[in-house]
Structures are given as C-alpha cells and as structure tokens.
Structure 1
C-alpha cells in the first residue's frame, strides 16, 4: 500500500476554538456516560449469571408496565429499547444537526473524511457478516448487527486505559459516531419496519409537523414540547416504525446555529440539558436490561462455532477496523486530504479498531433481527459483547504504544501559560498574546532576582529566568 499523496488540506489538524470547546464538553459527558454504561453492562452480566439471581433478572426484565389501551403495555426491556433509546437518538439527532450547520460537516470537503469512513465502516462489517453466513450456511438476517459504533463505550475505554488522544482524533471519532448513528437509524427504519399502521404513522407525521411549526414560531416551554414529544413517540411506536426514529427526527428539527449574543444555540442548550439524561440514565438502563445474557464456557465456545455469532464478532473486529481505516485511506488517497504531520497511519488504524466497539445500537439491532428466535438473540448479544471486548483490548494495546506521543500532543494543545482560559496554540499569532507573555516572563525574572538577592546570590538555578 503506497502512501497517500500529500496535499494542501490536512486532515486531523487543529480544531477551531469554538469547535474545540464544544468537543471538550461533549466528550466529557460521553466519557462519564460510557463509564456508567460499562458499569451497567457488568452489573447485567453478573445479575444474569450468578446462581440464585438469574431468575430475578428475567423476572424484572420481563415485568410489563404501561397503558394497554394505547398499545403501550410493554416489558421493562422493551421500554428501555424503544423508549429510553429514543432519548439517546434525540441527542444524536441534535449532534448531527449541529455538525451539519455549524460543525465540521457543514464543509463538504471536511465532511468527506468522516462520512466516507462511517459509510465504509458500516458496509465492511455487513459484508463480513454476510460472507461468513453465506459460506457457513447461517442466517443473513443479522447483517446490520456489527455495523454500529458505540462512542460512549469507546470513550470509556480511553478513560480506563488512560490515553490522552489529540483533539483532532477525538473529533474524528465523535463525528464518525454521529454519522454512524444516523445510518443506523436509517437501517432500523428501512429494514426493521413491518406491518405499518398508516393511521398512527400519519398521526406521528402530523405531530412532527406541529413540533416543527412551534419551533419556527418561537414557542417556548417544556410543558408544550414534552407532552407533544411523548405523543409523537407513542404514535410512532404504534405505527410499526421503530420508535427511536421519532427521537432523531425531533433532534434534527432543532435550531443549532447561534444568533448574535447567544452563548449557545437553542439546540445546543437543549442538548446540554438532555445529554446527562441520555448518557447517565437512558443508555445505562438499556444496557442493564439488554446485556444480561447467560455466559458459560460452552456458550462462549458456541459464539465462534455458529456462523451468525461468528459473523458478528468478525464484523466488529475485522470489518469495522478495515472499513473505517480503508475508507479514510481511500479518501486521503483520492482527494486533497492528508494526515497531519504529527500523526501516522498506525494511529488511525488504532482508532479504526476502537470503532469496533458496537455495544448499544448493535444490541438493539440484534434484538430486532432475530425476534422469532430468543435463543439466537441471546447468542448474538453475547457475540456483540465478545466482539466489542476484543476490539477494546486490541485498540487499547495499539493506543498505549503511542500514549507518550499522544500525551505530548494533548499537553501542547491544552497549554495556557498566560492563564486567560484560551489555549496558547490559538493565540500564537496574536500580538497582544506575545505582549502578555513578555510581561509574564519579566515578572518571573523579577521574582527570581528578588529570590537571589534574599539568599545572598545563592539562588542556583533560581537566578536564571524561566
């Protein structure tokens, strides 16, 4: 493989200051949510596998609640998958809208890299899964299971292994996951919708139109939008279209560009309020009720013996890695994009392996793909857990090898010697910044001279200004 040609546009360069600040807030919340997600997944596995507790797990998971007259008498597992994940996709919709109008995706040239990487990163796992099952005589119904990336879980892995990725790589990972989420919801809407109730679907569509009109006319108040959102969600669920589509549709309708004098756009403000609910409650609870599969030595062996489950594991570990890496390389090879001089292709390969963590949406699609076979559903869930674990370990090893380099890059990006709250890298071309730094250095030199005089000229290294 020859190196992609150099060009006048650098991928993974330094982010703009507003983008850097937004990214920092988003990643901080996702990292905390990812750790909670990890804790919930472990708790579910323990609860479902400890003798004496497994039965109670199934009892709680299958407990039904809700009004039957509205078609919403659902199990807790169902409420988590269709209800709580709608909040997750609502936030994903806002993220995507912001990226399209104010973030990297507004520039087609900048968007090409993560979009192509995301598309290839979903196509390759689907192809790997399909190939394994065609050759092995398995069911191709689960082709979409290994296509999704779980950004929260990926960031939790980074937090656990203590890797300080440069901002540009983190931005790439986040943007990749945003596009990935949109493609995942399209897959769910198109391929996992059956028995449409057109009356309910028309009602959901009318509700979305009303939602859009209220937003455009400036109507405010949670007491207006929350009941309307619940009605849209309920109608979408009863229509036969997966209810999470309602969440992403409402998220995409929010206004995500800042007007004069606004610190945050309305969409960013709502995202800031709802994201803790998504990352701190909705997604962990979904993991708690979905990740609790019985795991034994025999069951783990079956994951690698059955084509459906083997296809999921290979799709996540091999397909995702090759898809994301290959898509990025092809974009850099045939467009004007090139890597930053500070990064190498092995760095991108490690990030591509990290994208193989497909926990949340992969579990959801696994439930939708094999609804008629509960045993296979649980086996596919186990395959998702194993594939995500292998991807996490592989990427963790690769990233740790370069951790010293990443930490140096991260520290350079965060350096703020004049303590004005703005990293120095964004001020190096500003004359006022150089004046402040000169004054700061003179102040330090004066302090060293006073220290030297007070110690009778024996300040040692303290006599030399910093």
Structure 2
C-alpha cells in the first residue's frame, strides 16, 4: 500500500512539472471561467474580474481593474518568458545556426500571412470585422507542446524542435503585431522615454552588467513608458528579454546566466499563475444568445477557417518552399506527411488569439463570437492534427528509440 502511494505521488509530481500539467491547469481554469460566466454566480464572477485596481501614479492609461492588470501587466511576464525561451534556443539550442533558425521562422511568417488573408476574405464586406484580421495568426505553444509530447514516437525529435521553435516565433511575431496594430494613437514624449530606457538596457548588456535588478527596474520603467506611448505595454517583456545577458560575467561554467536565472524564476509563475488567471478571466463569456449557426457568421467563420485551413496551408507551404529553395533544411527523420500533421496542430491558437480578440473588438458585440470561433477552431485543429499524426502509416513514422 505504501509503495503504491509513493509511486502514485511520484507520478503526480512528474505530471505537475511537465508541460501537460501546465496546459491542464490552464484548460481547467478556462473551463471554470466559462462555467462561472454561465452560472447563477455570473454577476459575482463579472464583479470579481472587473474589481477596480487603478493606480493614479500610472495616469489615465494604466490598468483600471483586475482583468486589465492581468492582460496588460502580468502577461508582460508571459511574453518575457517566451522571448527568453527562443533566445536560449538561438544561443545554444536547436536554433544556433542561421539555417536552423530560417525553417521555423519562414514557417511562422507563412503561418501568419495566409490565415490573415483567409480571415479577411471571409469577412469581406464587413468593415468592423476586418479589425480582427490578426486573431488566427498565432500558435499556442502552451497547448501544442503537451499534444506532441503525448504523441511520443509518432513525432521525431527534429520535428518536435521545429514545431516548438515555430510556435515561439509565432508568439513573438504576434506580440509585434499587437504592439504595432492594436495600440492607440502614438504619444511621442512617451515613445522617446521608452526609447531611452531601451537604449539603457542595451547599454547595460553591452557593458557587462549582470545584476538582475538592473534589468528588472529597466523593464518596469519601460512598461510604464509604453502605457502612454500608444504601443501595447506587453512589448516591454519582449524588449527586456532581448536585452537580458545570455552569458556569465566570469569563466566559471557553473555560473548561471541572467537569462537562465530569470527564466527559472518566472516560468513556474507564468505556467501556474499568470496563464491560468488569463484563461479564467478571458474565457468566461456568457453563452446566452449563442447558437450553433452563429459559427457560420463572418467573424467566427473567418477565425475557424483561418485556424484549420489558413494556418496549416501557410506553415506547410512556406516550410516546403524554403526547403525547395534551399533556404533551410527539413528536420531529420521527418517525412512530409508528419510535417503536414504538425502544421495542422499550428491551428491551435488560444492564449494570443484571445488576447488579440479582446484588443480588436474591445467594447464590441463581436468579441463573444470571436472567442467562440477561437474555441472551435483550436479544438478542431488539435483533434485533426492529433488523429493525422497518431494514425500515420507505420512506414512513415520515425524509428522507435
């Protein structure tokens, strides 16, 4: 009995530290928000996420309630961790050469352009809906990683690294889109201040400063400056992550780099607190008045088709083209059918897609249909991609290890 208990406890611990554990918590928190928003406690749920939390020191553009603090404040740390992950891969991982970087980067670009065009084609003639063009462009690494890990030997190691690099590039490009297209009118004094802070962070890196407090203070100052700049404040996470040193100050190989220290400190917070909070507060939409035929309306249909059609066509087409033009090489032990299956999984757009939907349709009746489209498109992409990869013919699978 005791041995069984310890074995069960060890299994639970392994699950909790795995990507699948974090994705499960995010999914459960999202479901909880959806259920509360459609329960007798819906008013209490709404009151909770809209609880005023305005700091007058931040001025009129600062977050005004709990939901805004999560979306504009805490999610900055999520984007910081995303950038740190891709920087680690570029410095010493699967993206340490130009040709290794090129394949997922080109795939990510194709996976942005084609879904956006697909969406715009579907919503043509609906001017208000066009603002949501960027909703289907992002791949959610928090959900795609557990899926490909669960597939085990059905996905080769090279293909797994390619997909995760592509998902991270996707997130970074999504952040750039948010900053450039979903901000407000530019305010040049704040932009100048943000530029000066960025220059200071770059200077700190170049002069060999490795103290984390320097970058933490600089990151907060940059976030405050961006609040008034007209660019989205979460861009501060991207810039700070790029400026964090990826090397140590001495020759002792046992030293931990500032990048690794920051990543190890923030990754659990992002996985177990920030992303579940974001899901809990953003998935909680009322289903009153929602009916199945609504999925055929312009906005949700555009998002669904952008995710399940535009995303795999864009990713697979751009990846195949880059390989044919010898811009990059395909991952080892990865047949074309496997690559296409992974491209299908790229349609799982959840976190960033919800984030963009809130910005694109803030204060509009289109935000709920947009979120419904994200749910349906992401679920279909996950199911189709999983079945495709799971039931690949045996001779197309990589050899077992």
Would the TM-score normalized by the shorter structure come out above 0.5? yes
- 1:81 deviation in Å? 1.0
Name which of structure 1's ranges 88-97 and 169-178 shifts more when overlaid on structure 2. 88-97
1:119 alignment partner in structure 2: 109
The 1-side partners of 2:233 and 2:298 are apart by: 30
The 3-state SS of whatever aligns with 1:64 is: coil
Structure 1 residue 334 corresponds to structure 2 residue 325: yes
- 1:135 deviation in Å? 6.1
Structure 1 residue 287 corresponds to structure 2 residue 279: yes
Please say if residues 348 and 382 of structure 2, whose CA atoms lie closer than 8 Å, have aligned partners that are also in contact. yes
The 2-side partners of 1:58 and 1:269 are apart by: 37
2:88 alignment partner in structure 1: 98
The 1-side partners of 2:317 and 2:264 are apart by: 34
Note closer, same or farther for the CA distance 1:106–1:155 as it changes in structure 2 (3 Å cut). Answer: closer
Q: How many positions carry a matched residue from both structures?
A: 383
Question: 1:296-350, CA deviations, whole angstroms, 9 ceiling, x for partnerless residues?
Answer: 6x52425422111110111011111111111111122221756567332121111
The 3-state SS of whatever aligns with 1:256 is: coil
Structure 1 residue 350 corresponds to structure 2 residue 350: no
Name which of structure 1's ranges 387-396 and 67-76 shifts more when overlaid on structure 2. 67-76
TM-score by length of 1: 0.75
Note closer, same or farther for the CA distance 1:265–1:228 as it changes in structure 2 (3 Å cut). Answer: closer
- 1:124 deviation in Å? 0.8
1:386 alignment partner in structure 2: 376
The 3-state SS of whatever aligns with 1:342 is: coil
Please say if residues 37 and 153 of structure 1, whose CA atoms lie closer than 8 Å, have aligned partners that are also in contact. no
2:23 alignment partner in structure 1: 34
The 1-side partners of 2:94 and 2:192 are apart by: 34
The 3-state SS of whatever aligns with 1:182 is: helix
The 1-side partners of 2:315 and 2:271 are apart by: 25
TM-score by length of 2: 0.86
Structure 1 residue 204 corresponds to structure 2 residue 194: yes
- 1:379 deviation in Å? 1.6
- 1:406 deviation in Å? 9.7
2:146 to 129, 151, 156: 156
The 2-side partners of 1:245 and 1:293 are apart by: 27
CA RMSD of aligned residues (A): 2.8
Structure 1 residue 55 corresponds to structure 2 residue 43: yes
The 3-state SS of whatever aligns with 2:296 is: coil
The 1-side partners of 2:328 and 2:178 are apart by: 32
The 2-side partners of 1:290 and 1:162 are apart by: 31
Please say if residues 48 and 54 of structure 1, whose CA atoms lie closer than 8 Å, have aligned partners that are also in contact. yes
Please say if residues 316 and 387 of structure 1, whose CA atoms lie closer than 8 Å, have aligned partners that are also in contact. yes
Note closer, same or farther for the CA distance 1:73–1:192 as it changes in structure 2 (3 Å cut). Answer: closer
Note closer, same or farther for the CA distance 1:334–1:161 as it changes in structure 2 (3 Å cut). Answer: closer
Note closer, same or farther for the CA distance 1:34–1:305 as it changes in structure 2 (3 Å cut). Answer: same
- 1:86 deviation in Å? 0.4
Structure 1 residue 308 corresponds to structure 2 residue 299: yes
